[in-house]
Chains A and B, each alone.
Chain A
């Protein structure tokens, strides 16, 4: 099988793994840590968090920061791949000349 097909299939599998639970599982899809918090209050009803988050940003700002986090990462990955590809191209050009 050509590698482009293999890569395409892998991407499709990732998408399906996200979409299928949304379609077939009936849930709120809140964070797993909120669910864990529920268990903690169930096991130890008296437990009080002894330290709160330093900043509590609005939900929108938080999602902006998450997007920013992903964007920075994606930028660096793109830079690295581009750099490697550029090097390879230059290498090939040099090889052809000699």
Chain B
């Protein structure tokens, strides 16, 4: 077998490997509240709660990019990180799979409001193309992932940064909190919509929480670690402050 023969053989093996990897039978897994699975009243309610945040988010985004075009870079990065992480469906300790949200990083860099826009764009993509989540439940899903998560992450970040300058710890905790909060809120949304016949909302919350929140705990840790990794990477090339909080207090610009 000549040199070209070896290469052809290698290419064949590689081709088959890719083919079998891609063709592995997989179960479709999605983690947000599915299309049609919230009663009409609740679907409308969560849309109504979400829309003001979305509008404020758009206003904030316009302000930010007008005053500081450089922020567009961080904006793209936040969106991209959310895109990547919410595509990663990871197995977890409960025997179910779920995915991280990636909204914590953006909340730290840009503040929680812009994430309401970025997060809902990701959700819309998944709802329209992937039958993952849904249009009727988009309000509820966007509220949990694009509003509640980022706000929780930002709050945790500010809290830790104020009590001491441990930035990496703050980034880790913020990302994990944003991730976990998203699914706690999802469990809550389902519990109030489907209270158990005996025991009511509390019993339902325990059940849904057991599925969503417990599954999410190891994933939240993973998301925290991945966010710190990207943070370290960015830090080594960017002399400017990455976080909104620090930019404001130091008046630095990026």
Contacts and interface: CB of A to CB of B under 8 A. Distances in A.
Given A10-B229, A33-B34, A55 B91 contact: no
Contacts of A31: 27-31, 89, 96-98
Contacts of B208: 36, 39
B237 A81 contact: yes
A85 B208 CA distance: 45
A94 to B, nearest CB: 13
Interface in A13-33: 13-14, 17-18, 21-22, 25-33
A74 B162 CA distance: 32
B81 A73 contact: yes
A5 interface: no
A3 B129 contact: no
Contacts of B238: 84, 88
B234 interface: yes
Nearest to B29: A31
A10 B128 CA distance: 34
B168 to A, nearest CB: 9
Contacts, number: 208
Contacts of A14: 222, 225-226
A74 B77 CA distance: 9
Contacts of A39: 190, 194, 204, 207-208, 211
A51 B93 CA distance: 32
B7 interface: no
| B35, B82, B96, B131 — most chain A CB neighbours (10 Å) | B96
Contact of B33 (A33, A66, A67): A33
A57 B40 CA distance: 25
A67 B24 CA distance: 14
Nearest to B190: A36
A10 B129 contact: no
Given A25-B94, A29-B96, A81-B234, A74 B84 contact: yes
Contacts of A70: 83-84, 87-88
4 interchain residue pairs of minimum CB distance = A27-B95, A31-B29, A49-B36, A73-B83
Interface of A: 3, 6-7, 10-11, 13-14, 17-18, 21-22, 25-37, 39-40, 43-44, 47, 49-57, 59-60, 62-63, 65-67, 69-70, 72-77, 79-81, 83-85, 87-88, 91
Given A18-B90, A32-B94, 4 more contacts: A11-B225, A35-B96, A39-B204, A47-B194
30 contacts: A10-B225, A10-B229, A11-B229, A14-B225, A18-B90, A18-B222, A21-B92, A25-B91, A27-B96, A28-B27, A29-B29, A31-B29, A31-B89, A31-B96, A32-B212, A33-B30, A34-B96, A37-B37, A39-B194, A43-B195, A51-B35, A51-B36, A55-B128, A55-B129, A60-B22, A65-B130, A69-B84, A69-B126, A70-B83, A88-B238
